[in-house]
């Protein structure tokens, strides 16, 4: 009994040691491989020769799209392995800036989260557009809100729906945390001002939770990406403009943001091929993943916007 | 069967001794390195808010406004500290009587049913992922409170109730062990003096096992204090001290999980979250010391 125990222990130990050894040699081999294929790809850019592993981390809003596209890309390029992680825009930008991830997914421009010199090292790849709409519980009876009305609601000046044309009911704000990229976009382009977390307001980060709370709480108002809109909640027009793909694309609906995939400097061959695939017609076209999953293709946009928020046709 | 009367000469187990020693040593070393690097990491990150970013410690501990993005940035974590303490202590107040009664049922009243059925079921509660608790809280408890009480249903009451279920296994298991290890003579003496079962339970069993019960309760509070996801889903997360049990508020953990992923490492917003984590860690140390002190008093 005792002997067998010790034998097991010794075995485990030696196995774990062996595993360590193995790992090392594997890593060595992998590095060697990567170096070799890097050389190969510079000479010959045929997709069959691509290999390497890519880590894409960051924005949870962009994660489902990157995840699905990465699977298709791996089917076509068996030598490449892509891992997609969430963690939030800040995490994605930090990791790509520090070199832990090859791609950093973000809802916001890097300049808004990182120091200027760190942000300058990153190369922006805009892969999709996400638009947001203010949504309310179905019982409030408000169809359209102006910018000023939204500001009054989110700063607590208006606390009852009857003051903005709805029925007599207390307004319940379902907001995002102050660090959220979604909230930053909404405040910047819908409200035009930063707001404080009010006493009694609800802050949730996950879009699913926000949707559930808005649909169940009487008098609730929140905001969601267009892909989350359905019959359980009421989408509100902004200044009389309905939130839909066409209005976003032609610039009449202003509450939208790019989804960014940042790389540090110019990407290596495999990462570059993946990012090229991301903006290819297969993904961005009418039948592609971008449209299917409720994002708006970048190619469809008739207006452009820079990091300072200035819009150009 | 030995043929001769000679004492068997023990073969030296040098190799086994050595393997065992090295194995144990490696495990311990690994543990110590992990713990120390974790404490160092959280402490260095958490302290950089005060050292690098120049935030006043007193402002952080007593300030009422949390506006890390604001102009000027304000880092008042008192609402979070208040939220953490109030939810976890309220959770313990709800769970402690339940846990004690469950233990009494399992040990004193119906050991057979208790041991074979109740205990596995309660221990099962410990294995349920916290996101499930959070979702149940959001789908059942929050709407219930919204209908019964003024307010939106989210808040300290909902958070405490969810946490009470989560810490129930800890409290029950320790209470059960305490009751089971009670010397039989104490109870028999009480019965022999003519005390009823109820008198025995509340005059003999409860007082003598109280220190052990307290250990369980403090362990439960410590667990509730550190729980993040389930609480975050039902508490509402407004960074304010609420006016009632049914108004949105935050805890240290929910503030950290909400914003940690959205802020970049090294930014003042991120460092401030690590300071909250440091407060959490220091509180955990305090809980550990309380538990050790209670354990020391437990001797009958």
Cβ atoms of A258 and A305 within 8 Å: the answer is yes
Tell me, what's the pLDDT at B298?
59
Q: Which of A156, A203, A216 to mutate to test the interface with B (most CBs of B within 10 A)?
A: A203
Question: What average pLDDT is seen over chain A?
Answer: 81
B219: its two tokens: 């362990």
pLDDT of residue B4: 56
User: To the nearest whole angstrom, how far is the Cα of A33 from the nearest Cα of chain B?
Assistant: 32
Of B23, B247, B262, the CB nearest to A13: B23
> What distance in Å separates residue A160's CA from the closest CA in chain B?
14
- CATH fold label, A52-129+256-307: D-Maltodextrin-Binding Protein; domain 2 (3.40.190)
pLDDT average, residue stretch A79-86: 88
Q: Closest partner residue to A179 among B154, B236, B262, by Cβ?
A: B262
Element (H, E) at B132: helix B130-136
CB contact under 8 A, B19 and A6: yes
Whole-angstrom distance, CA of residue B211 vs CA of residue B158: 29
Measured in angstroms, the CA of B17 and the nearest CA of chain A are apart by 9
Do you find a cis peptide bond into B72, omega within 30 degrees of 0?
yes
d(CA A253, CA A250): 8
A131-249 and A52-129+256-307 share a CATH fold: yes
Q: A22 or B113: whose pLDDT is higher? A: B113
Residue B130 touches partner A, C-beta closer than 8 Å: no
Q: Using a CB-CB distance cutoff of 8 angstroms, which residues of chain B are in contact with residue A203?
A: 236-239, 248, 250, 258
Segment A158-171 mean pLDDT: 88
Half-sphere exposure of A301 (CA within 13 A, CB side): 23
Looking at the structure, give the CATH architecture of the domain made up of residues A131-249: 3-Layer(aba) Sandwich (3.40)
| Residues of A in Cβ contact (< 8 Å) with B270 | 90
B70 touches chain A (CB under 8 A): yes
| pTM of the model as a whole | 0.79
Using one digit for the tens of pLDDT, what is the confidence trace for A112-142? 888 888 888 899 999 999 999 999 999 888 8
Least confident of A41-45, A74-78, A160-164, B14-18: A41-45
Is B67 part of the contact surface with chain A (CB cutoff 8 Å)? yes
pLDDT at res. A48: 54
Q: Is B188 on the interface with A (CB under 8 A)?
A: no
Neighbouring C-beta atoms of residue A212, cutoff 10 Å = 20
Q: Cβ(A73)–Cβ(A80) under 8 Å?
A: yes
Contact A3 B16 (CB under 8 A): yes
pLDDT value for A4: 54
Q: Given an 8 Å threshold on Cβ–Cβ distance, is A6 in contact with B20? A: yes
Is the model's pLDDT at A36 over the cut of 50?
Answer: no
Residues of B (8-47) whose Cβ lies below 8 Å from A: 16, 19-20, 22-23, 26
Shortest distance between the Cα of B10 and any Cα of chain A, in A, equals: 14
For residue A183, what is the nearest residue in chain B, using CA coordinates? Answer: B262
With a cut of 50, say whether residue A39 has pLDDT above it.
Answer: no
Cβ-defined contact of A197 to B233 (cutoff 8 Å):
no
pLDDT of residue A193: 84
Model confidence pLDDT, tens digit, residues A192-249:
888 888 888 888 888 888 998 999 888 999 999 888 888 899 999 998 888 888 888 8
Find the residue in B nearest to A2 (Cα).
B16
Nearest to B248 among A60, A88, A201 (CB): A201
Q: To probe the interface with A, which of B230, B264, B269 has the most A CB atoms within 10 Å?
A: B264
Phi, psi of B165 (to 5 degrees): -65, -35
Which residues of A are less than 8 Å from B152 in CB distance? 172, 200, 202, 217
Q: Are strands A237-238 and A144-145 parallel, antiparallel or unpaired?
A: parallel
Cα dihedral sign, A36-A37-A41-A46: positive
| Whether A3 and B242 lie within 8 Å, measured CB to CB | no
Q: Domain extents for chain A?
A: 52-129+256-307, 131-249
Q: State the average pLDDT over residues A17-36.
A: 39
B267 touches chain A (CB under 8 A): yes
Task: For residue B69, give the nearest of A87, A178, A212 by CB distance.
Answer: A178
Cα(B224)–Cα(B90) distance, rounded to whole angstroms? 10
**CB-CB: which of B16, B22, B237 is closest to A203?**
B237
pLDDT at B3: 54
Contact state of A202 with B236 under an 8 Å Cβ cutoff: yes
| B268 shares contact with chain A (CB less than 8 Å) | no
pLDDT of residue A118: 85
Specify the pLDDT at position B212. Answer: 87
In eight-state DSSP terms, residue A56 is E
Nearest residue in B to A193, CA atom: B70
CA distance A130 to A226: 7
Can you give the pLDDT at residue A31? Answer: 39
Nearest to A202 among B68, B237, B265 (CB): B237
Distance in angstroms (rounded) separating the CA atoms of residues A181 and A106: 8
| pLDDT averages per 10-residue partition of chain B, 300 residues | 61 83 95 95 90 84 83 86 94 94 88 86 88 92 90 89 94 91 89 91 89 90 91 90 90 90 83 92 90 74
Cβ of residue B240 closer than 8 Å to a chain A Cβ: yes
Q: Which of A94, A194, A217 is closest, CB to CB, to B69?
A: A194
How many contacts, defined by CB atoms under 8 Å, are there between A and B? 116
Q: Nearest CA of chain A to the CA of B237: how many Å?
A: 5
Beta bridge partners, A170, equal: A160
- Between strands A220-225 and A311-312, the pairing is unpaired
């Amino acid at each position: 009994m005792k002997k067998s125990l010790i034998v097991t222990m010794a075995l485990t130990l030696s196995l774990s040691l062996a595993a360590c050894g193995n790992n090392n040699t594997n890593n060595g081999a992998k590095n060697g491989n990567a170096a070799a294929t890097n050389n190969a790809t510079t000479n010959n850019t045929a997709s069959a020769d691509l290999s390497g592993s890519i880590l894409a981390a960051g924005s949870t809003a962009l994660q489902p799209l990157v995840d699905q596209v990465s699977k298709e890309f791996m089917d076509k390029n068996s030598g490449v392995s892509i891992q997609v992680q969430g963690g939030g825009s800040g995490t994605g930008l930090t990791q790509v800036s520090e070199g832990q991830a090859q791609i950093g997914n973000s809802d916001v421009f890097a300049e808004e989260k990182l120091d200027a010199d760190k942000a300058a090292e990153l190369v922006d790849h805009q892969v999709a557009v996400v638009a947001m709409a203010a949504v309310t519980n179905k019982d409030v009876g408000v169809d359209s809100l102006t910018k000023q009305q939204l500001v009054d609601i989110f700063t607590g000046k208006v606390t009852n729906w009857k003051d903005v044309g709805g029925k007599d009911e207390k307004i319940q704000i379902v907001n995002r945390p102050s660090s959220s990229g979604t909230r930053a976009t909404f405040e910047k382009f819908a409200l035009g001002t930063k707001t404080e977390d009010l006493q009694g307001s609800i802050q949730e980060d996950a879009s699913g939770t926000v949707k559930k709370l808005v649909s169940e709480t009487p008098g609730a108002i929140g905001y969601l990406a267009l892909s989350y809109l359905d019959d359980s909640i009421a989408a509100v027009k902004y200044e009389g403009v309905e939130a839909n793909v066409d209005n976003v694309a032609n610039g009449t609906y202003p509450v939208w943001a790019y989804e960014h995939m940042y790389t540090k400097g110019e990407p290596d061959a495999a990462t570059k091929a993946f990012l090229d695939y991301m903006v290819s017609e297969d993904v961005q076209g009418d039948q592609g993943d971008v449209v299917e999953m409720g994002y708006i293709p970048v190619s469809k946009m008739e207006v452009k916007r820079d990091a300072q928020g200035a819009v150009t046709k | 069967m030995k043929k001769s009367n000679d004492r068997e000469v023990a073969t030296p187990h040098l190799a086994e001794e050595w393997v065992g020693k090295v194995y144990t040593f490696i495990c311990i070393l690994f543990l110590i390195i992990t713990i120390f690097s974790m404490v160092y990491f959280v402490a260095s990150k958490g302290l950089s808010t005060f050292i690098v970013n120049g935030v006043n410690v007193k402002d952080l501990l007593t300030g009422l406004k949390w506006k890390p993005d604001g102009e000027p940035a304000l880092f008042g974590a008192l609402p979070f500290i208040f939220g953490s303490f109030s939810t976890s202590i309220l959770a313990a107040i709800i769970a402690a009587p339940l846990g004690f009664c469950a233990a009494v049922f399992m040990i004193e009243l119906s050991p057979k049913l208790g041991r074979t059925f109740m205990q596995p079921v309660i221990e099962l509660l410990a294995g349920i992922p916290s996101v499930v608790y959070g979702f149940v809280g959001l789908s059942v408890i929050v709407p219930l409170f919204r209908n019964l009480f003024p307010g939106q249903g989210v808040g300290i009451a909902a958070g405490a109730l969810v946490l009470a279920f989560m810490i129930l296994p800890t409290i029950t298991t320790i209470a059960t062990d305490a009751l089971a290890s009670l010397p039989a003579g104490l109870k028999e003496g009480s019965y022999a003096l003519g005390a009823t079962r109820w008198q025995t339970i509340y005059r003999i069993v409860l007082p003598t096992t109280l220190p052990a019960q307290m250990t369980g309760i403090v362990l439960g509070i410590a667990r509730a204090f550190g729980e993040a996801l389930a609480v975050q889903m039902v508490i509402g997360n407004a960074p304010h001290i609420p006016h009632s049990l049914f108004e949105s508020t935050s805890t240290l953990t929910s503030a950290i999980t909400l914003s940690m992923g959205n802020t970049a490492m090294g930014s003042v917003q991120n460092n401030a979250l690590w300071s909250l984590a440091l407060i959490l860690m220091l509180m955990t140390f305090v809980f550990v010391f309380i538990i050790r002190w209670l354990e020391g008093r437990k001797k009958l």
